[in-house]
Structures are given as structure tokens and as C-alpha cells.
Structure 1
Amino acid sequence: MSATLRNTQPVTANLGKDDSGELVSSRYAVRIGDLDVVLISDGILPLPTSTLSTNVSDADRNEWFDHRFLQRDMFDWALNIALVRSGDRLVLIDSGVGDGFEYFSRAGRSVLRLETAGIDLAAITDIVITHMHMDHVGGLNVDGVKAKLRPDVRIHVAAAEVEFWKHPDFSRTVMPEAVPPALRKAAARFMELYRGNIVQFDQTVEVAAGVTARVTGGHTPGHCVVDVASKGDKLTFVGDMIFEVGFDHPDWQNGFEHEPEVAMAARIALLNEAAEAGSLLAAAHIAFPSIGHVAKNGESFRFVPVQWDY
């Protein structure tokens, strides 16, 4: 199969009055009852396709990618964060990868895109970190970001996650060689910068009215998802629990999962939950804007993206 042509740099243009230099704004809003949710793209992470399916054969993996007209060796992982307005609270969910990673030069754009959208970082009252991998805490580690945040910003992280990163175990993961040291460094930097702002929780925490974080474990021991619910509507930001391949093959293990079997069980539970409730789902690594419904498809699932509201 011939290689698919793809951009090697972010798409940029100087059009209109937007001085960000970006052709598109890379943000998408949806209303959940009385709550406003905005998905924002932090960019793209090019990673080996093998990390999406460490427990299956090359032939099975290649078949999945071939059917989607994608390269067999490298895959562009979307990287998304979210922002939720609940009354007088503004909640940021994850922060992107930040800077300093040459191999992730097409990401690290969340702070720029927040500011381009007119979001003052000082207006953020709460931050939920789904887990402490570098593509979720790295945006907060960028020089100058902490000074722009309010001094009393609350950063909600599961207690199990904080404990895990004191002595992280990579024995069950299958990652590119350069990644584990970078993950350790980013997590340590995050704790160094924000220890005084971190609010730890056990299983669940209400971050704001209608915004709740709950621990799933699996991807990391303290990985959490965020439920946004109001007036009978619901959207769950599932972080790294579900990748695009996970709808067709929820039993395929991801190389970044520290607890693969726990992750698989949690992934299937989340997919069943969304399918049965008819609620919306969004994720860190589903193609932007990543919002859609989940439908049962025999023993697997089907992702039904929302129709864009222009």
C-alpha cells in the first residue's frame, strides 16, 4: 500500500484579521444542558502504529489500517483537551503536550489556541488532569504558563495517580525508547510546579456543578474520566481510555497502558455505558473534534461523530 501524503508541519496561513497564523481555529463548541463545552486540538502526535495494538499480529493490525487508507508504520494521533463553563467556574480538562519535544513538533498548541479563542488563563478556576502522561500535563509545564494562571487554581488529580508517579512502573508498557524518560521528567516537573495547587481525590470528585471526575484506572492506575451532565444531557471526556481502534477492537491493548487488562475492562464498560445511555463521548486521541455517540455493533462498537453545527 502506498504511503499516504500528510502534513509535516501545522497548517498555517495569514488570512483575515486572525493574527495567530493558523488557517483554522481548531476548536469546537457543544452545549450540554446549561453547560458550555469546547473541545480544542493541541495538535498531532506521530507515533508507531504498533503501539495501538500490542497484543495482536502485524497482519491484523495492518488490515485495520489498510481499510482506513492509513500508513502501516506511523499513525497521526489526535491530541485534544476540553474546557467547560459551569456557572462562575471555568474548568480545563488536560493541557496538551507543551514544548521541548522535537518528535512532537506538530503539537503543543493548546495555550495558543486558548488565548486565540479569547480565553484568559487567569479565568480558569479548576483543572482536571485525566492522568500525568506528558501529553496531558505538558502544557502546564511551559515556561510562563503558571504565572498566567490564578494563584489559587485548583488542579484535580486522583490520589492513585500522584502516588504512582513517585515510582512509575513501565514493565507492562510498549513505548518508543525515548518516551518513558520524557514521561518521568514531565510528571516530576508538573509536581514540582503545582504541588501546592493539587487537590487529590479517591474515586470521584465534583469539580463544579455538573462536572464530575471519576477514576477508571487502567491506562494509568489513577486515570480518570470527566462527566459533564446537565438537564438530561451528558458528555464524557474519556481521556486515553478509548482510541479510534478501540471501537472495532476494544480488546486490543495500547502500548501506553500501564495496566492493560484493567484498561480493556474499563474501555468496554465506558463504551457500553455510552451506547446504552445514548450520551456523547469525547476523547484525547480521537480525531478532532472527537465528539460523537457510540452504537453497539455485535461484539464491537461503532463511533458516530456529531454533525458539525456551522
Structure 2
Amino acid sequence: MSATTRNTQPVTTPIGKEAAGELVSSRYAVRIGDVDVVLISDGILPLPTSTMSTNVSEPDRNEWFDGRFLQRDMFDWALNIALVRSGDRLILIDSGVGDGFEYFTRAGRSVMRLESAGIDLGAITDIVITHMHMDHVGGLNVNGVKAKLRPDVRIHVAAAEVEFWKNPDFSQTVMPETVPPALRKAADTFAKLYSENIVQFDQTVNVAPGVSARVTGGHTPGHCVVDVASKGEKLTFVGDAIFEVGFDHPEWQNGFEHEPEVATDVRIALLNEAAETGSLLAAAHVAFPSIGHIAKNGDAYRFVPVQWDY
């Protein structure tokens, strides 16, 4: 395959008002027992393919990307957030990248897409931040967003995550040189802007009936996943613990992982958990809507996406 193969581009149309001018739906809902879960695309992050496989050879990496009809140098990394409704609680999981990064012009759509779906930001009672990377807290840093939120909105962040970003360690990461300063700035802005709203937790926290978060570590020391469980059904939003390449090669390490060895163990444990229980899995960086089941495939795994219910 040619190294210049291009990724497909989104189709848009100028019909209606600007916020409703997208031809393709950017949200997808499922019901987990009595709890509603909506996955929302924040857009696409173009990133070097090398960041998906820092501990493997270039030929091995090329073989995987060629097999997915993707470029060998850069690829489009999906970015998803989630909205959960449990009883009278409305919970936002992550917030997208926001608008502060000129090299991510195809992302930062979360707030616009929430509002175009008729979601009042002031109705959100809780926010769970899986980790404080810029593509997860950046949407909250956008000018004017805080003013639209409830003054008493609770933002749940692992205590280990808050502590880590006071003096972050990038020694085990492999990122483009422009990224660490941007990550530091976004995390610092978020921590200061929402200092009165952040509710820290240690290992687990019950956010609402059937909705809880648990610390996994790995991707960052305080990275957490969110479990939604109701009436015997379950979905886990795994944040950045699992990427698409991780189904075929769970041992491949990601350049954005601050604890790559731990992250590998976390990834395999979450994949095994989903395969054994049959529960649904969703992720920040798996192609939208990212919801599916996990099946064992020898030493690897197979992602079985949900059938869209139109």
C-alpha cells in the first residue's frame, strides 16, 4: 500500500443553522437497564502513527496500518466523550479537546454537539474526568463554558491524577515535542478554573445510581474508567486504556502512556473482563460510536461493534 494513502474526509452541508449543519450524526445512544448512555464524537485528532506502537518495529507497525487502509505516517484518531442519565442525575464523561490547540482543527466539537442535541449544559449535575490530558479536559476550558454549567456541578477526578499534574513526569512517554507543554497548560488551567468544583476520590466513587468510576492507572497514574450497570446489563467507558490497535496487539504501547508497562496490564485486564462478562465497552479513541463487545481471539481480542439501531 502506498504511504500516501489518504484517510476519508467528513461530509458536511450548510443546511439549517451552523450548529445543525452536519450531514452525519455525531451521537449514538444505548440504554443500559434503566440508565441512558450517549456517545458523542468530539471530532478527529491527526497524530503520527508511531505513537500507537512505540515498542515495536516500523515494519510491524506498517503492516497493521496497511491492513486497516490507513496512512503509514499520520492517521485520524477518534475522540469520543459520553453523557449518562441516571434518574435525576446527568453525568458528562470527559469534555473533548476544546479550542485551544491550532493543530487540532477537526476536533473540539463536544460543546457544540451537546447544545445542538438540545442538552442544556446547566442540566449537568456531575462530570467525570477519566484523566487530565488536554483532549479530555480541554472542552471545559473553553471560554464561556464554566458560566453555562451549574455553580455546584461536581467534577470527579482521582486524587492521584490531581497530584500527578502538579509536577507531571513525561520520562516514559514518546510524544511530539509540542504536546507535553500543551498537556501541562491544559491540566493546569483546568485545575485552577474548577478548583472549587473538583471532588477527589481514591480508588472508586459512586457518582449516581448505577454509575461509578474506578482508578486503573497506567495511561496516567490517576486514569479511571466509568462503569454503568443496571438490571444485569453493563457498559464500561474505558477512556484511554484501550485503543484500536490494542485489540489485535494489546502489548503494543502507546506514546501517550505515562506508565506503559502498567498500561499494558490494565488494557489486558479490561479486555479480559469484557470478554468474560459479555458487557459492552466504549472508549475515547475507538472509531465512533466505539460501543461493542469483546471476544477472545487467541492471544488477541476481537472488537464486535454494536449494530446501529436507526
SS at match of 2:195: helix
Counterpart-to-counterpart distance in 1, 2:234 and 2:182:
35
**Considering only aligned residues, what root-mean-square deviation do their CA atoms show, in Å?**
1.1
Counterpart-to-counterpart distance in 2, 1:21 and 1:230:
35
| Alignment partner, residue 4 of structure 1 | 5
Q: How does 1:100-119 map to 2 (within 5 A)?
A: 100-119=100-119
Query: Are residues 1:151 and 2:165 paired?
Result: no
Letter in 2 for 1:5: R
Q: How does 1:178-197 map to 2 (within 5 A)?
A: 178-197=178-197
**Structure 1 runs, 4 residues or longer, greater than 4 Å off:** 16-19
- Count the aligned residue pairs: 309
Letter in 1 for 2:7: R
Counterpart-to-counterpart distance in 2, 1:108 and 1:7:
19
Say if 2:20 and 2:116, in contact at 8 Å, map to a contact too: yes
Cα displacement string for residues 209-265 of structure 1 (whole angstroms, at most 9, x for unaligned residues): 000100000000000000000000000000000000000000000000000010000
| Alignment partner, residue 50 of structure 1 | 50
Say if 2:137 and 2:187, in contact at 8 Å, map to a contact too: yes
Give 1:7 shift: 5.1
| Alignment partner, residue 72 of structure 2 | 72
Letter in 1 for 2:167: H
Cα displacement string for residues 77-117 of structure 1 (whole angstroms, at most 9, x for unaligned residues): 00000000000000000000000211100000000000000
Structure 2: any 5+ residue segments left out of the alignment? none
Say if 1:96 and 1:138, in contact at 8 Å, map to a contact too: yes
Give 1:149 shift: 0.1
Q: Which TM-score applies when normalising by structure 2? A: 0.98
Query: Are residues 1:141 and 2:161 paired?
Result: no
Letter in 2 for 1:288: F
| Alignment partner, residue 127 of structure 2 | 127
Give 1:38 shift: 0.2
Counterpart-to-counterpart distance in 1, 2:226 and 2:208:
11
| Alignment partner, residue 59 of structure 1 | 59
| Alignment partner, residue 99 of structure 1 | 99
Counterpart-to-counterpart distance in 2, 1:135 and 1:288:
16
Give 1:16 shift: 5.8
| Alignment partner, residue 238 of structure 1 | 238
Give 1:18 shift: 7.6
Counterpart-to-counterpart distance in 2, 1:233 and 1:6:
36
| Alignment partner, residue 88 of structure 2 | 88
Give 1:11 shift: 3.4
Counterpart-to-counterpart distance in 1, 2:116 and 2:188:
29
| Alignment partner, residue 27 of structure 1 | 27
Say if 1:25 and 1:113, in contact at 8 Å, map to a contact too: no
Q: Which TM-score applies when normalising by structure 1? A: 0.98
Letter in 2 for 1:97: V
Cα displacement string for residues 127-151 of structure 1 (whole angstroms, at most 9, x for unaligned residues): 0000000000000000000000000
Give 1:4 shift: 2.7
| Alignment partner, residue 160 of structure 1 | 160
Give 1:22 shift: 1.4
Counterpart-to-counterpart distance in 2, 1:34 and 1:200:
27
Cα displacement string for residues 163-210 of structure 1 (whole angstroms, at most 9, x for unaligned residues): 000000000000001000000000000011000000000000000000
Query: Are residues 1:248 and 2:248 paired?
Result: yes
Over the matched positions of the two proteins, sequence identity in percent amounts to 85
Give 1:153 shift: 0.1
Structure 1: any 5+ residue segments left out of the alignment? none
